[in-house]
Amino acid sequence: MTQKLTLCLVGPRGGGKSAALATFTDCIVQNAHGYPAELRPAAQSITRAAFHGLDSEASRLDILDAGADEYQRLRGDFAEGGAPTDATRLHEYFFRMTLNGEASPPLAERKPALARIIDAAGAASIADETAPQEASRELRDDFVKRLAEADAIILVLPMTRFEDSGWVGNLARLIERLAFAADCRAKRVVVAFSHYERLFVRLGPSAFTYACDPAVALHVLRGALRASSWSDGLRAVEASGRAAVRFTVFSAHGFVKGFQNPNIDPHIRVDQRFRRAGVDGRRGFNEFWRPFLTADPFLYAAFDLENAFMFSFAQIDASTLAGRSPSMRNSPPSP
Ligand SMILES: Nc1nc2c(ncn2[C@@H]2O[C@H](COP(=O)(O)OP(=O)(O)O)[C@@H](O)[C@H]2O)c(=O)[nH]1
Ligand SMILES: [Mg+2]
């Protein structure tokens, strides 16, 4: 038996939703997620027909026919530097997600999941008041409907100051709607901060070591959430007991394989990943490219799987002292 899930990506334009989606299967293949390697997660893109009826013979053949797959196109777009999501329709991608490793008993019971992931242009999910209105009324209404039906919501926000962006008001309104709409059935909400590698650009080859420390991520998330009024609605979501809320970080560009510095070329004005001069095509990007934690929001959303980079409000709110290493917390009080 498989379970069917709908996951909905939400976030402002340019936040990194499509990049997260385009890279999460590679992140799994490259073992660049925050879960133990023994979990052996897998995600395979499947067709719409396979999602709707996996047990039929026709759909089994369908799985093998990945040639014209929309998801491969999305991956290709990302490899070439990324393209803005077409704002005339919602985009659906389908995956079979499994946990293959020997895991602890409760995990062993987990069924493979067939996931439908909905990605829309930022204008359809969180409009920017300072940008031209790209998405039609119908598309935005359609998006709100899908959002209400989703089993889990992945909110992707850029890891930059955005209190003065043109969309933070709309973000707050959308979260309020999630908190108080009785018809919203999401059980999990993941807030994933993107562009994480940018914080480490001055650290050179030590960058990856710092990025791999969950305590650094917790510190960064505390900073991002401090005095953020848009997150109040998320507290209401969690307080209502209807959905769990988690915060995490990720980078689609990631860190350079073998060198461990952030994978953005400082000599180019726009963020671009490193590639060897003279090498053409996708291989040129893949040579150095290793994404960072982009699979985690999807694995959490599909399987309710916690890891060291996934933080709750309680962890974020805990005092810094309580957040230190367990050995410090457990040391007996001095006489
Ligand atoms: N530096 C950096 N740029 C990124 C990252 N992920 C995406 N981008 C860039 O940010 C821009 C917007 O990303 P996109 O995924 O299209 O955002 P969306 O509108 O939310 O789907 C693109 O130019 C991406 O190449 C990242 O991890 N690091
Ligand atoms: Mg997009």
Average pLDDT over residues 57-72: 62
Helix axes 168-180, 232-239, angle to 10 degrees: 10
For ligand 1, whether the C-beta of 291 sits within 6 Å is no
Phi/psi for 51 (5° steps) reads: -65, -40
Query: Which helix (H) or strand (E) covers residue 160, if one does?
Result: none
The CB of 195 under 6 Å from ligand 1? The reply is yes
Q: How far is the CA of 39 from the centre of ligand 2 (A)?
A: 29
Q: Comparing 53-57, 188-192, 203-207, which segment has the lowest mean pLDDT?
A: 53-57
pLDDT in tens, 77-108: 998 888 889 888 899 999 999 998 876 656 66
Closest by CA position to 156, among listed 54, 20, 253:
20
Yes or no: say if 196 and 292 are a contact pair by the CB < 8 Å rule: yes
Residue nearest to atom 25 of ligand 1 (CA): 82
Q: Please give the domain boundaries of the chain with CATH numbers for all domains.
A: 3-330 (3.40.50.300)
The Å distance, Cα 252 to ligand 2 centre, comes to 13
* pLDDT tens per residue across span 2-50: 889 999 999 998 899 999 999 999 999 999 999 998 899 999 999 888 8
Q: Is ligand 1 within 6 A of the CB of residue 11?
A: yes
**Residue 12 and residue 20: Cα distance in Å, rounded?**
13
- C-alpha distance from residue 235 to each of 285, 302, 308 (Å): 40, 21, 21
pLDDT band at residue 229 using 50, 70 and 90 as cut-offs: confident
pLDDT at 134: 72
Whether the CB-CB separation of 121 and 18 falls below 8 Å is answered with no
Ligand 2 centroid – CA 241 distance (Å)? 30
- Return the closest-CA partner of residue 12 out of 172, 122, 162: 122
Cβ distance 165 to 201 under 8 Å?
A: no
Question: Is residue 273 in contact with ligand 1, taking CB distance under 6 Å?
Answer: no
Rg for the chain, CA atoms, rounded: 20
Tell me the angle at which helices 17-29 and 70-79 cross, rounded to the nearest 10 degrees: 100
**Residue pointed to by tokens 């996951």:** 7
Q: Are strands 251-256 and 91-99 parallel, antiparallel or unpaired?
A: unpaired
Q: Which ligand is nearest to the CA of 87?
A: 2
CA of 236 to the centre of ligand 2 (A): 28
Element (H, E) at 215: helix 214-225
